[in-house]
Each structure stands twice: as structure tokens, then as C-alpha cells.
Amino acid sequence: MNRVVLEQKVLSENDRIAGELRERFQKHGVLCLNLISSPGAGKTSILERTLEGRAPGDRVAVLTGDIQTDNDAARLARFGFPVRQITTGGTCHLDARMVERALADWRLEDLDLLLIENVGNLVCPASYDLGEAAKIVMLSVAEGEDKPLKYPSIFFKSALMLLNKIDLLPHVPFDIAKARANANQVHPQIEMIEISCTTGQGLDLWYRWLNNRGNKHCRFGNSSPL
Amino acid sequence: MHELGIANSVLEAVRVELGRHPGASPVRVAVRVGVLAAIDPQALAFSFQALTAGTEWESVLLDIQTLPRLHHCPACGITFRVIEYGFACSGCGESRTRCVGGDELELAYLELEEA
């Protein structure tokens, strides 16, 4: 019997492509963010609010992933920025190859910000690097405050947690302090912003976070995903 | 949920490695999965079995080694295993420690029967 030591990542092919994408984003000064949540937490809504808040001519683009339909792309296209749907056809996450293909005919030198909306899922997207500068996890108060403990991987790997739908707090038993404590337990350094895409509360903090991150990105280049 | 894709990537890597050992057949492949990798070992084992069933690789064993979450303490320099969510240094109590292990998803080795 012959034992061959392999010592390679299982997803080494994905990581290789993600590494190439990260280099390209860095070279062209594109801040790429990977937005992840369970279905219905409000990923498309925060993207709508984000695009709405940008000046015409801002160099922003969106890739949006879904298993089926291009409904999200249609919702987002009305703001006049480039939007492209990635339909995974059953796959529960985006991978680097899908992003590479979707970007094939876009000129990265014309972009400052690329927002990627992952497939609604808190598990699988955690494993796939897309070349992003940071992952952002979104949790809505219509869910359980124990989500960070149930899905520690994605909360650990995300730089920022957006707590959405806070306008619903008077009507749901969600304990926001507990949610924050749970997220901190999994990832002590995670940043948190409370928002409501419906009322607009907290969006100014989100816009500021984006601007700061964009400025830092221009000065220092990309950080590694972890 | 995506363990099927992971199992497929494992088989792909085995296929590539076999190309370097003409005539050999795979007996066992070992992977290391950290607790932060978002991989369910049971689902991975099931997916691997489902993919190899009825093929020439039906008898290949998948060995899954689970790795703990490790933190490093900048104050006293030790690396310790995190149990539950106890991030404070088990040596000196320092609270700001850094994660240095637990998100592995790696191929460890492949055992081959040479022809």
C-alpha cells in the first residue's frame, strides 16, 4: 500500500479562481462585497436602498445570485446601474467560477464598487471564496436571535452583520441585545449595524460604512477574506 | 447541502492524483474538516458514497478527520483549543485571542494499491 500525502485544499480550484478575481479587483481598485443571508432577510431590499442612495454616474454594479428566476435583477435594474443575474440552476451558493463568468464582458476599470448578492443560505456560501474584500451577513429580526450560534461559520467569516427589519421590533419577540451578544460570541470583532430597509432607519450608518470601507480599500488594497 | 459538491471536488482531486500513478487503484482518501468549515461530516460521507456507488470506486473509503477551533494568545504565546465559545486564553486569561485554526477543508492523503 502506498500512501500519498496530498496537503491541498478541497476547494483549491475555487480558491485559485477567487485569488485571481481578488487580484483583478485590487488592480482596478474595485471594492467587492459578498452579501449573505437566509432567504427573505432583505438582501435585495438593502441593495435597492443602496443603489437608490447613489448618485447617477457612481461606478457601482451588482451581481445577484438565485437558484431560479431573474426577479431580483429586474428589481435592481431600475436604478440604472449595471446588474446581472446569476442563475445557479439548483446550486445553493455562488462559486468563484460563476462570478468570473458573469464578469467576463464587464470592464472592471469602470467600477469602484461591486456588490454580490449570494443565494439565500447561511451555510454553503460560507465555504466559497468569491474574491471579495469582505463578506457581509444579514440577519432580520423576523428570525431567531440564536442564528449566529446555529450558523457560526458565516458569522465568523463576515466583517459586518446587518440587523435588518428593526421597524418590526415592537411586534416580534426578537431580543436584539442577545443577537448582538451571540454574534460577538462567535466573532468578537464583527461590526454591527441596525437598519430598516422599510423605514430607512440606520441606512446612513450603512452608507458611511460603505464609504469608509471604499476609502480604506483605495488606500490599502484588499484584505484577505479571513 | 453543498457536501455533494465537496465530495465531487474530493473525487476530482483523487482523479488528478491517480494520473500520476498509472495502474494504481485508490483504497482510501482522507480529508480534514474544521468545525468552522460549515461541512457536515455525515452528509459528506453520504454524498461520497452516493457518488461512488456502482462505480469502480465503490470500495474506496473516505476518512474524515474533524479539527477543532484553535486560538492563539498574543499575550502568552500559546495556542489552545476553543470549547464552545470560550475565546479567553486558557493559559493566562487574555480575552483578545486570534483564531488560527478550524476552517480547514483539506485533502490529507490518498492510499493506493499499486498494480
B94 touches A at CB < 8 Å:
no
**pLDDT of residue B85 exceeding 90:** no
* Report for A64-68, B34-38, B49-53: range of highest mean pLDDT: B49-53
Give residue A219's pLDDT: 52
Instruction: Find chain B residues with C-beta within 8 A of A92's C-beta.
Output: 1-2
Better pLDDT: B5 or A215: B5
Q: How many domains does chain B have?
A: 1
Q: Which ipTM did the prediction report? A: 0.76
Angstrom distance (rounded) from CA A134 to CA A115: 10
What CATH number is given to the structural domain containing B85?
3.30.2320.80
Instruction: Find chain B residues with C-beta within 8 A of A94's C-beta.
Output: none
Distance to chain B for A186, nearest Cα, Å: 7
Q: Which of A93, A156, A188 minimises the CB distance to B36?
A: A156
- Contact map slice: B 33-62 vs A, CB within 8 A: 36-39
Q: Which residues are paired to B110 by β-bridges?
A: A4, B29
B63 touches A at CB < 8 Å:
no
Decide: B63 and B73 in contact? Cβ < 8 Å. Answer: no
Top-level class of domain A12-219: alpha beta
pTM of the model: 0.85
Domain that holds residue B13: 3-113
For the CA atoms of A49, A32, A128, B35, the dihedral, rounded to the nearest 10 degrees, stands at: -80
For residues B16-23, average pLDDT? 92
**pLDDT of residue B111 exceeding 90:** yes
Instruction: Find chain A residues with C-beta within 8 A of B88's C-beta.
Output: none
For residues A141-153, average pLDDT? 94
pLDDT tens-digit map of A151-173: 999 999 999 999 999 999 999 99
Angstrom distance (rounded) from CA A18 to CA A24: 10
Distance to chain B for A156, nearest Cα, Å: 8
Distance to chain B for A81, nearest Cα, Å: 32
Q: Which residues are paired to A83 by β-bridges?
A: A62
Angstrom distance (rounded) from CA A47 to CA A53: 10
Pairing of strands A158-164, A191-194: parallel
Give residue A222's pLDDT: 44
**pLDDT of residue A113 exceeding 70:** yes
- Classify burial at A26, counting beta carbons within 10 Å of its beta carbon; exposed 0-12, middle 13-18, buried 19 or more: middle
